[in-house]
Structure 1
Amino acid sequence: MGKIAIIGYHEVPTQINPERTRWDIAEEVIMGAVKNAGIDKDDVQGFINVAPQAQPDLISATAFGLLPEHFGFKNVKDNVICNAGGASTTNCVRMAEQWITSGMCEVVLVPHITVQSDIPAEDLITFFAKAPMHQEWEFPFGMTFNGAMALITQRYMHETNSTEEEVAAITHALRDWGSRDPYSLFHNKPKTTAEVMGARMISTPLKSVECNMLADGGGCLVIASEEYAKKHCQNPVWKLGHGSDFLGGTPVVREDIFWREGYRKSCSEALAQANLTVEDIDIHEIYGAYPFTQASYLEANGICEPGEGARYHAEGHTKLGGKTPCTTIGDATGRGHTGSGVSMAFYCQVARQLRGEAGANQVEGAEKVMMVTSGGSGMNTLATVWGN
């Protein structure tokens, strides 16, 4: 395989700001990423768009080529849209790699834009209840996204003898990261474990702050070939290895209830391609949207003993300064949920960390990052190792 690299990125803060239009965000992130890469916009030869959720007009605009046309990109060979839920950004990057290694392009833009605050709350609730749930066997019985993840969390607590307080400590750790991140919806708003425990119950055992707050945001990556990156970029962020595993689209019938096997298989494959071990990874960026995924990931990769993931968080190991820095943007619960674009925020953070640009959340000496995404209600686990 040929190498690819992130040579530029740009992101807007995750906010609730309906006055900021989708095209406003698109202009900032697209032109900002081009500027960050230090290239001319006409060096870009492809657009691979992360599909926005619950926004049909924007889906049409991005799918049918209005972004490169509107912003005057003259040398684009093709424009597509990719929807795999929260795994969309990873799939966009994989498609960019295919375009580049096939010789079709040298430089590909991967943008994402979301504004959810101007969508009626009832419509958003209905969309995110139906989208990840089986329309015949789950949704008709009152199952929602929060409900499904709460049931899995309850089962996780039962099987591991983890307490609600230990699970709440995961969200405390995520909000700790988010509170120092100026791009987070929860900047300067940390939550103690006690405050998480005292929040309003949504679906036992998940409290309101352990679920996702829908918000607005956007980001963009510039992906380039090895030759182009070495010639035009002083600090490229290299893709070193990748792995994937499919768990299934319907939560109620999955055998891998806690995603452990998916995490193990995908991460093992990515590490093998990169010729690394899990001990070589400096930061683990885990997009799972709900707290139990953070614990499952650690257990699956042998970072802690099986069943000890929540307690590992409660002991403080995953926070800044801990021995296993995890999810340094705070995941969706510590940053805000921008539809399928939460994973875009993760990729921007990977670039920040490996370039030493993560500010108050910078992990000192970070050279290798494991980036993991999942789509839908957790249909897959996609793991990618990045290095500087």
Structure 2
Amino acid sequence: MSKSKIAIVGIGEVPTGIYPQRLPWEIIYETCTQAVQDSGLDKNDIEAVVTVAPQAQARLSAEISFGKIPEELGLKGCKDVCICNAGGASTSNCIRLAEHLIDTGAARTVLIPHVTVHSCIQQDELIEFFAQAGMDLQWEYPFGTTYNAIIAMLTRRYMHESGATPEEMAAIVVSMRKWAALDPNSMFFNKKVPSIEEILASPMVADPLHKRECNMLADGGAAMVVTSAELAPKVTATPVYKLGEGSVFFTACPVLRDNDMMIRGFRDSAAKALSEAGLTKEDIDIWNIYLAYPVGHPLMMEALGLCEPGQGCKPFMEGSTSPGGKMPWSTIGDAIGRGHTGSGVSTATYVDTARQLMGKAGSRQVQGARFVFQNTSGGSGMNNIATVWGKELI
């Protein structure tokens, strides 16, 4: 029996892409308005705003930290406001904070927004921010270590240990882009899905990562309305319940992390989330995995016991994870298919988990989906937060 206390009852999102003319506050207004209207609630029913911290946007973060969202939106019932930064795990922690506020009676309904506009940030500022964020300033930063370099080393190690080929790694990108091509909120919507050959023919960024295996920074935003599991079915016909959670911390410093540590952590946090939900992996209809780069996906596939050790690329190569496959996986295409909006990729993934279970995913809809497994990870892979969501209480 799950211990669900909360449910997502409303969602809103704008398309991801390069839109320098689209101001951050315009995105906040649009996504929050969409989410509240989608929930069926009045804006004055919102009693708290817990915001995902925008990365590399100090002024915007300060404005949000000091309460500008409820003031600008005219949320007359709002009693509390805060901002949360845990990198890509921020959204999970915003949901946890909302759960605490609801469970303690401090708030009945909580608004969780995120916004990022990378295209308005000076290039040198972006380079400096991402050169430091998630990197150890003593042992990594001085040597020019970047996210691409860290993930390249992890990828090379995985390929060495598993025997995975460059073609198999590229197949992961193909799967992600197939989902993205069907998603109106993806920057690759209606774009041609690159072939394995085209991916491997793109310029090398950090061996063995090619350009098309890396992320594109983008602008975007999304929002959710969360309320109690008890109140949820009274305000909407399509509540999405949080059924279970498990978490693990690895290391802040990437060079101290190894594949075995990550696989154990992925496995243990997933097992706890499924156990708390009262489900098994066979019950899961969608695996909404957020790990930013391709290599995380076969590692997670193996950790979850969905394939044999060392065979994590096979389901991607065979098409099982693509639209219409037997194992729907990352239905927004992760950051590779959506465009990287900082911590907002995890927000977009949660929104799509809700969208799928609400039956609102359009041409990407996984028919009959009842339960979704989702994870988030922060920094350069410091942790893993596994959650299970359902369209019904069990």
Q: TM-score, normalised by structure 2?
A: 0.97
Match of 1:219 in 2: 222
CA distance in 2 between partners of 1:11 and 1:44 (Å): 18
Secondary structure in structure 1 of the residue aligned to 2:12? strand
Q: How far did residue 71 of structure 1 move?
A: 1.2
**2:171 is aligned with 1:201:** no
Match of 1:149 in 2: 151
CA distance in 2 between partners of 1:150 and 1:209 (Å): 13
Select 2:130's aligned residue among 116, 128, 131: 128
CA distance in 2 between partners of 1:81 and 1:313 (Å): 37
Select 2:275's aligned residue among 272, 276, 279: 272
Match of 2:95 in 1: 93
Q: How far did residue 311 of structure 1 move?
A: 2.2
Match of 1:384 in 2: 387
Match of 1:229 in 2: 232
Q: How far did residue 91 of structure 1 move?
A: 0.6
Q: 1:48-88 deviations in whole A, cap 9, x for unaligned?
A: 00000000111001111011011111111110000001110
Q: 1:173-203 deviations in whole A, cap 9, x for unaligned?
A: 1011101111001112211111111111100
Select 1:306's aligned residue among 304, 309, 314: 309
Match of 1:113 in 2: 115
Q: How far did residue 230 of structure 1 move?
A: 2.1
CA distance in 1 between partners of 2:212 and 2:127 (Å): 17
Q: How far did residue 118 of structure 1 move?
A: 1.2
Q: How far did residue 164 of structure 1 move?
A: 0.7
Secondary structure in structure 1 of the residue aligned to 2:300? helix
CA distance in 1 between partners of 2:19 and 2:110 (Å): 29
Asked whether the 8 Å contact 1:258–1:296 carries over to 2, the reply is no
Match of 2:295 in 1: 292
Q: How far did residue 122 of structure 1 move?
A: 2.5
Q: Which ranges in structure 2 are unaligned for 5 or more consecutive residues?
A: none
Secondary structure in structure 2 of the residue aligned to 1:230? helix
**2:368 is aligned with 1:365:** yes
Match of 2:254 in 1: 251
CA distance in 2 between partners of 1:168 and 1:122 (Å): 30
Match of 1:238 in 2: 241
Secondary structure in structure 1 of the residue aligned to 2:49? strand
Match of 1:34 in 2: 36
* 251-260 or 304-313, which deviates more: 251-260
Q: Which ranges in structure 1 are unaligned for 5 or more consecutive residues?
A: none
Asked whether the 8 Å contact 1:9–1:348 carries over to 2, the reply is yes
Q: 1:101-155 deviations in whole A, cap 9, x for unaligned?
A: 1111110000001101011223212211210110000111121011000100000
Query: Which structure 1 residue ranges, 4+ long, deviate > 6 Å from structure 2?
Result: none
Match of 1:340 in 2: 343
Select 1:171's aligned residue among 145, 170, 173: 173
Q: 1:265-316 deviations in whole A, cap 9, x for unaligned?
A: 1110000000000110000001000001111111001100111011221111
Asked whether the 8 Å contact 1:247–1:256 carries over to 2, the reply is no
Q: 1:18-76 deviations in whole A, cap 9, x for unaligned?
A: 00001100100111111111110110100000000000111001111011011111111
What is the aligned-residue RMSD (CA, Å)? 1.0
Match of 2:16 in 1: 14
Count of aligned pairs: 388
Secondary structure in structure 1 of the residue aligned to 2:120? coil
CA distance in 1 between partners of 2:312 and 2:124 (Å): 35
Superposed, 1:313-328 pairs within 5 Å as: 313-328=316-331
CA distance in 2 between partners of 1:254 and 1:186 (Å): 32
Letter in 2 for 1:83: N
Letter in 1 for 2:165: T
Q: How far did residue 321 of structure 1 move?
A: 1.6
Letter in 1 for 2:284: I
Secondary structure in structure 1 of the residue aligned to 2:51? strand
Secondary structure in structure 1 of the residue aligned to 2:313? helix
Secondary structure in structure 2 of the residue aligned to 1:309? coil
Letter in 2 for 1:345: A
Q: TM-score, normalised by structure 1?
A: 0.98
CA distance in 2 between partners of 1:361 and 1:260 (Å): 29
Select 2:66's aligned residue among 64, 69, 82: 64
Q: How far did residue 227 of structure 1 move?
A: 2.2
Secondary structure in structure 2 of the residue aligned to 1:259? helix
Letter in 2 for 1:201: M
